[in-house]
Structure 1
Amino acid sequence: MTGTLSDIKIPDSRIAREAAELVRQYESELLFNHSVRVFLFGAMKGARQKLKFDPELLYVASLFHDLGLVDAYHTDSKRFEVDGADAARDFLRGHGIPDPKADLVWEAIALHTTPGIPQYMRPEIALTNAGVLLDVIGVGYDEYTPEQRDQVLAAFPRGENFKNDFIQAQTCSALKKPLTTLGTVNFDYIHQHDPAFHLPGACALIRNAPWRT
């Protein structure tokens, strides 16, 4: 878990090592490797754009961003992103990290699947989102050299069937608490699994509001 890829050093502080150990204990290799790739791709983009960001905070945000998908951190009523964000903030607070930094990581994780907002926020938030978008759906793929992409995949492989396995992991989480997918991209995992499933849309919610008019 230590080393440098394309001039990006994987953080090796005590907090970074313990964060990796905790996440690795609960996540599958699929999710863990994805999480480290998110950090590397996000940090590469940050370096390319000459952004000032905290690599350790970006690393923790990347590591924890999908932890809400695993049973140990699953709640019945929160979006999986919030479950992971809560876990990361608790971890950082437990290591004496002040609230402004812990809250920054919380925001990066909670917003990592939200379209159209993270890229305008602080670098740690924007870069977590950028790393996710590249690794999952290829946004910004050509901004990285083939050598950069190959180095990252050699160190943290996608596996033989990442796309379908990742969809399956997301679908399993969404099916456990479908109401948390209302208004989010996570609803698509359920709809892909069961096209007949419906949640109330914005118009239905407005019309059913308790106001008289």
Structure 2
Amino acid sequence: MKKTIAGIDIPDGVIAQAATDQIRGAESELMFHHSLRAFLFGALTGYRENLMFDAELLYVAVMFHNAGLNVKYRRSPYRFEVDGANAARDFLQQHVIVDRLIDEVWVAIALHTTPGIPEHMSPLVALVSAGVQMDVRGARRDELAVQQRDEILQAYPRESGFKKKIIEAYALGMEHRPETTFGTVNADVLDRWDPNYRRLNFCGLILGSDWSS
């Protein structure tokens, strides 16, 4: 039986079920519930704004958006968003999804932590970012009805200490690759988490380059 929360149907097709099984087995309950809430917040935003989007692809993209933080990637040299995007691409290729849609999911995951760009792209790219940002930092949460938010939180609660715990999850997934945080919000995470972390500065890189002038 299909599960409906705040008026949104949770996708339950073969691809959605496979994505759920793969991510649920790899992530903590905190991160898994975060993804479910992000999907619901993103879908509600999309319907409220009358955007055309594929709910199942949105679901898959949000399921995989933090996959790059998992232990499997603790020695990866890439940004965690790229690892998650690559994992989603591999998953969707196994399910014979057309390349154009796979590329869109890849971009949505890769850019979900990049402020100011996703909202100007396709609905899928915009809604992955919107859903994640609403759950993590409360961006645009007041645009949703209180009843909708409450129903989502009742179904998939934010556990006690969620704010600090999700920062910890981000940090543990990136502390071995601090250079990948340059120019991103991820630098804020390691700056708070690791007392030995030193930010790269764009102006410093320019002035300290090998060019003579």
Q: What TM-score bracket applies, with the shorter chain setting the length?
A: over 0.9
1:167-178 map, 5 Å? 167-178=167-178
Paired letter, 1:202: F
How much identity, in percent, do the aligned residues show?
A: 50
1:103-142 map, 5 Å? 103-142=103-142
Q: With structure 2 as the length reference, what TM-score do the two structures score? A: 0.95
Q: Deviations over 1:36-66 (max 9, x none)?
A: 1111000001001110001011000100001
Q: Deviations over 1:116-173 (max 9, x none)?
A: 1001110001001000111011011111111101111111111111111101101112
Q: Deviations over 1:82-113 (max 9, x none)?
A: 11000001100111011111110010000000
Q: Considering Cα pairs closer than 8 Å and 6+ residues apart, tell me whether 1 or 2 has the greater RCO.
A: 2
Residues 22 and 175 (structure 1 numbering): CA distance in 2 closer, same or farther, change over 3 Å? same
In 2, Cα distance between the equivalents of 1:208 and 1:175?
Answer: 25
In 2, Cα distance between the equivalents of 1:170 and 1:8?
Answer: 28
Contact map agreement 1:73 1:87 (CA 8 A) in 2: no
Count of residues paired in the alignment? 213
1:31-110 map, 5 Å? 31-110=31-110
Name the counterpart of 1:27: 27
Name the counterpart of 2:145: 145
Paired letter, 1:150: D
How big is the alpha-carbon RMSD for the aligned residues of Structure 1 and Structure 2? 1.4
Q: Which runs of 4+ in 1 moved over 4 A?
A: none
In 2, Cα distance between the equivalents of 1:177 and 1:2?
Answer: 41
How far the C-alpha of 1:204 sits from its partner, in A, is 1.9
Name the counterpart of 1:208: 208
Contact map agreement 1:61 1:109 (CA 8 A) in 2: yes
How far the C-alpha of 1:196 sits from its partner, in A, is 5.3
Contact map agreement 2:74 2:174 (CA 8 A) in 1: no
